[in-house]
Structure 1
Amino acid sequence: PPSGFHGRHRRKGDHLKFTGHVGENVTLALPLPSNVVDSISLKRENSPKFVFYYRDGHKTHRGDQDPQFIDRVISSCQPTNNTVLVTLLNVTKNDSGEYTVRVTSGGDNYSENMTLIITDAEHFGAVGVTVMEIMEKIVVVFVVLVVVLVVVMHRRIGGYV
């Protein structure tokens, strides 16, 4: 199996761990025993429905898919370097949890557990200030500076009463 994917997942023993932030698209690099695959499935722990399923050239049928993931999963289903990429669109905290990847290849079965951890938007430092909050403060400071500059310039040219 692959040893890494764009810094988005780490291996801990035989357990995959993927992380992302709410609203992002998170790509899962699912390890395969070979590039010749009969079927691939991704299921959430304790769910009878699939997040993703591929067999004999066909992807998950909507009726077999977990409703939480309908229209939110993209995959090329073309294994490369013993990996297939599955992207979860617009992830939410509810997507966090334990999953199992199952693969059949030439009569052999392979499975691996993985954890998906979705957190709120990225924060800076321990203070917990988001990028948007910083941008809002910059805009406010800029507007205040412009107003002060206009008042000072007006006073200098004698136009302020």
Structure 2
Amino acid sequence: MKKAPFILLLSSLLLFTGCNTKNEKSISSSSSISSTASSSTLESSSSTSTSEAQIVSNSISSVEQSVEISEESQDTTVSEMTQEQALQRILDTYPEANDEDYGIIFWDMIDNDFLFKAYSKSISSQGGTGTIGFFRVSPQGDVYQTDATGTPF
């Protein structure tokens, strides 16, 4: 455990010497003094810092891949829902909509949500609109009763 801070300090020193060319003389003179005492430690710390950099790089790559995968899964969830599936979700959620007198038609898209109009066939046959209400179905399958603009009650 006591070697870790020492290795970290030496790897930081090596990193700064590679980045800073103006102070090369002062750093190289101080590093030459310390390098005679611990040249084997510097070699092991540089290989350790290289290994640590590879681990960090691999971790970042893994995180980026998992973000890409989660974004793709969200996109497929949104695009997989069809009008027929949305209509079926309404019928499953509101069994009373299965009545012979009810009709449900696609009305509009609001972002990725489907908006359906529910109407009474008997009332519309008498000359009225027969509108009973509206249903909004999200891509995840959530069903909400709404007004004609899709705003939930």
**TM-score using structure 2 length:** 0.31
Q: More strand per residue: 1 or 2? A: 1
Q: More helix per residue: 1 or 2? A: 2
Q: Which has the higher contact order (CA 8 A, sep 6+)?
A: 1
Larger Rg: 2
